[in-house]
Amino acid sequence: MKKLINSPDAVIPDALRGVAAAHPSLHVDLENRVISRAQRTPGKVGVVSGGGSGHEPLHGGYVGFGMLDAAAPGEVYTSPVPDQILAATQAADAGAGVLHIVKNYTGDVLNFRMAAELAEDEDIQVVSVVTDDDVAVEDSTFTAGRRGVGGTIVAEKVAGAAAEDGADLETVARLATEVNERSRSFAIALHAGTVPAAGKPGFNLAENEVEIGVGIHGEPGRERGEFAPVKELVGYALDAIHADRPISGDVLVIMNGQGGTPLIELYGAFAEAVDWLDGHGATVARNLVGNYITSLDQAGFSITVTSLTDELVRYWDAPVSTPALRWGV
């Protein structure tokens, strides 16, 4: 295994040092492993997320004005621990309660729940919203129920914008829940990523195989399918999403790379998605094309479709200033 690291156990602390040096508007607590905004706004609802590392820019790259207040990055593909999530919650608390946005993985859900209880003991009100937008499989390696994936980014953006706007905790949580209910995702991998501590790819695919419905940790999807032109792969993903929740009207599309796929390919995949959606009477009103929720150096794409409302568009378009998303400021 060749990776740009010093050693597998130094990956997270080294990356956090880099984040601290690169982004003066963020505060990085190297001891507790928390990335938070350097300044907090009194009376604003705090928005916190976190999870295993290896999915960058998720979640640390979404900390900043108009989005998250703090993120708790675990070890690679490993949930952050309750004390760490508590520290993130404390960093985000500005007196109006804190929303936890939690991707639906068993470890994350348990540890965020324990952290919420610890926070309540300190009189910080916490509401949790669990995202589970991946339609590929019902239960999976790391979950009871569906996995939380790309829709989480939309939930973080919309909830963060509402919190910035002065909305109360109930409203911010309602919006995150609504985004999750209106979002669906599906992923296909061409090659597995390599976890530094494991030293070899997480799974092996033959030269003519793809993993259809793959998870963000390389966990299995629906089936090993045959490699096909991108038009067919994108069509498969959108068919799966459409079968679960019919797509119509104005949608937000995230054409996301898993970390090892060139941007030029993602634009080609996005073109196919737009054609498919046009053909099904939907309009791509907003989009992201690039690496937004990754799986280390895994090759492949995921597509997230969020059915928009005027309110969601307004919060999506609201100013945001984070390492990975920035507009309007």
Q: Is 216 in the site for a second copy (CB under 8 A)?
A: no
Catalytically active residues, by annotation: 55, 217
Footprint on residues 177-196 left by a second copy (CB under 8 A): 190-191, 193
3-state DSSP call for residue 167? coil
Q: Is 57 in the site for a second copy (CB under 8 A)?
A: yes
User: What phi, psi does 8 have (nearest 5°)?
Assistant: -55, -35
Q: Cα dist. 152→59, 121, 292 in Å?
A: 9, 27, 11
Q: What's the half-sphere exposure (Cβ side, CA atoms, 13 Å) at 273?
A: 33
Closest listed residue to residue 99, CA positions, set 217, 179, 12: 179
* DSSP H/E element including 166: none
Q: Which of 225, 268, 309, 313 binds a second copy (CB under 8 A)?
A: 268
For a second copy, the closer CB: 38 or 263: 263
Q: CA 29 to CA 26: how far, in whole Å? A: 10
Please give the single-letter amino acid code of residue 163. Answer: A
Q: What's the half-sphere exposure (Cβ side, CA atoms, 13 Å) at 11?
A: 20
Q: Which of 46, 50, 61, 218 binds a second copy (CB under 8 A)?
A: 61
For a second copy, the closer CB: 270 or 315: 270
Shortest reach from residue 162's CB to a second copy, in Å: 22
Please give the single-letter amino acid code of residue 27. Answer: H
Q: Which of 87, 167, 192, 289 binds a second copy (CB under 8 A)?
A: 289
Q: Which stretch binds a second copy (CB under 8 A): 3-11, 94-102, 156-164, 303-311?
A: 3-11
For a second copy, the closer CB: 248 or 283: 283
Q: Which of 34, 91, 98, 233 binds a second copy (CB under 8 A)?
A: 233
DSSP state of 302: E
Footprint on residues 75-134 left by a second copy (CB under 8 A): 76
Q: What's the half-sphere exposure (Cβ side, CA atoms, 13 Å) at 57?
A: 16
Q: Which residues bind a second copy (CB under 8 A)?
A: 1-7, 10-12, 14-19, 21-22, 53-54, 56-57, 61, 76, 190-191, 193, 205, 207, 210, 227, 229-231, 233, 255, 259-272, 274, 284, 287, 289, 291, 294, 296-297, 299-301, 326-329
